Amino acid sequence: MSATENKPVVGIVMGSSSDWEVMQHAVNMLKDFGVPFEAQVVSAHRMPDEMFAYAESARARGLRAIIAGAGGAAHLPGMIAAKTIVPVLGVPVPSRYLSGKDSLLSIVQMPKGIPVATFAIGEAGAANAALAAVAMLACSDDALAAQLEQFRARQTAAAKASVLPV
Ligand code: RP5
């Protein structure tokens, strides 16, 4: 799987194509904001050389944030972070036997010195990682900041318009 739109400023990587169901929510959010991204499978344990090459080349290729999703012994976000200074946003993917608690703890418990900003398990985490990347980019992009403000306003309006079936 590989998707590229314009010159990517956000990289989305995941440990397996089985992570797509969750990670597509990051992709969709970046598409909604028109943020150029790339998305691909980079497995820490099945393709470690490619993982290092991806991380080592990320900044020079123009990436300003990397969203990394993985499940189980989820070392992908941490290992990517170890090889680049581009901010890494980790998404714990639900796992088959431990429901993603293993993924969460693997990603969030980084030793001091190599940060991985860690999000919620699953779909919300993937979408929020993308929103965090948008917010980071919006610090130096007024048009994107305006889009983010509008997104928040629409969300607020939708919540206020909620009707309960009572
Ligand atoms: C991790 O192992 C992946 O991120 C995935 O969540 C999990 C299972 O991978 P598959 O066996 O489905 O390829 O590396």
CA of 117 to the centre of ligand 1 (A): 20
* Burial of 19: CB neighbours in 10 Å, binned 0-12, 13-18, 19+: buried
Regarding the beta carbon of 128 and ligand 1, being less than 6 Å apart is answered no
Nearest CA to ligand 1 atom 12: 18
Among 12, 18, 20, say which to mutate for ligand 1: greatest number of ligand atoms within 8 Å of CB: 18
Q: What is the DSSP string of 100-126?
A: THHHHHHHH-PPTTS--EE--SSHHHH
Distance (Å) from CA 70 to ligand 1 centroid:
7
Query: Is the Cβ atom of 136 under 6 angstroms away from ligand 1?
Result: no
Mean pLDDT for back-to-back runs of 10 residues, the chain (166 residues): 70 98 98 98 97 98 98 97 98 96 98 98 98 98 98 98 96
- Ligand 1 mean position, distance from CA 40 (Å): 14
DSSP 8-state symbol, 95: P
Question: Annotated binding residue at 142?
Answer: no
- CB within 8 Å of 29: residues ≥ 6 apart: 126, 127, 130, 131, 134
State the pLDDT at residue 6: 83
Is the confidence metric ipTM above 0.90 for this complex?
yes
Residue 39: per-residue pLDDT: 98
Domains of the chain (ranges, CATH numbers)? 2-160 (3.40.50.1970)
**90 forms bridges with which residues in the sheet?**
68, 118
Enter the pTM of the model. Answer: 0.95
